[in-house]
């Protein structure tokens, strides 16, 4: 790429493909595994409840972020609301949701693996997007980047906007995408029932 050629936005389809492939591989592993803490233990219930709360927090956080960025991504530099605490609140809340899925399975190990895997994918994506935004918005983005963490939120930096113009279409898409984090719960419950009934063999128990 020549020095004068502008950078292009990161191809989101590639990122989604990686996440989807990872989710399929994780699902194949979880089919033949079972949490070491069975349903009769309080630990299992606590992990499931915490996981469900994180999944709900993920959906609400993504909706909150979309209120500020929906329909304007890569077209306008948004630095208020959740974007004042982190440059990538959507990625942060999605990572929280991935950890929630692992906890809903009843496993600390699965939660850690899903969280780290998702974080690494989004960290790479965020770095690519930062280069594009710096090229597009110049000094304005560079100042924003120096003051705002790229991933982990800093609540002390929060500031809001007097008005927020949002896209109903973007908000609807975000809500529908977020339902994945809730829909996974009944799927895991069904998986547990099939394992307990002996229809699916359990090859490994994990904490």
Sign of CA pseudo-dihedral 147, 148, 150, 155: positive
Q: How many CB atoms lie within 10 A of CB 75?
A: 10
Model-level pTM?
Answer: 0.81
Give 103-146 pLDDT, tens digit per residue: 888 888 888 988 998 899 889 889 988 998 998 899 999 999 99
Q: What is the pLDDT of residue 74?
A: 66
What residues contact 80, with CB distance under 8 A and at least 6 apart? 68, 159, 160, 161, 164
Cα–Cα distance, 66 to 21 (Å, whole number): 25
pLDDT for res 144: 95
Assess whether pLDDT exceeds 80 at residue 187: no
Res 141: pLDDT = 93
- The DSSP call for residue 154 is -
User: Each residue of 22-72: pLDDT tens digit?
Assistant: 666 666 677 777 776 666 667 778 888 899 899 899 999 999 999 898 777
Segment 66-111, tens digit of pLDDT: 989 877 776 789 999 999 999 999 999 999 998 998 888 888 888 8
Residue 82 near residue 164, CB atoms below 8 Å: no
- The pLDDT value given to residue 165: 76
Rounded to an integer, what distance in angstroms lies between the CA atom of residue 138 and that of residue 65?
23
């Amino acid at each position: 790429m020549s020095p004068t050629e502008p950078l292009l936005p990161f191809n989101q389809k590639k990122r989604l493909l990686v996440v989807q492939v990872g989710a399929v591989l994780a699902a194949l592993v979880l089919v033949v595994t079972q949490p070491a803490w069975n349903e009769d233990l309080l630990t299992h219930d606590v992990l499931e409840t915490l996981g469900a709360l994180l999944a709900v927090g993920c959906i609400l956080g993504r909706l909150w972020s979309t209120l500020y960025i929906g329909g304007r991504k890569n077209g306008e530099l948004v630095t208020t609301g959740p974007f004042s605490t982190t440059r990538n609140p959507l990625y942060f809340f999605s990572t929280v949701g991935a950890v929630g899925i692992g906890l809903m399975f009843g496993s600390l190990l699965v939660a850690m693996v899903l969280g780290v895997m998702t974080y690494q994918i989004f960290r790479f994506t965020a770095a690519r997007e930062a280069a594009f935004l710096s090229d597009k918005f110049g000094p304005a983005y560079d100042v924003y980047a120096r003051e705002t963490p790229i991933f982990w939120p800093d609540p002390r930096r929060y500031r809001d906007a007097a008005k927020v113009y949002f896209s109903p279409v973007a908000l609807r898409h975000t809500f529908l995408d977020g339902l994945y984090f809730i829909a996974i719960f009944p799927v895991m419950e069904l998986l547990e029932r099939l394992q307990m009934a002996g229809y699916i063999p359990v090859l490994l128990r994990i904490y």
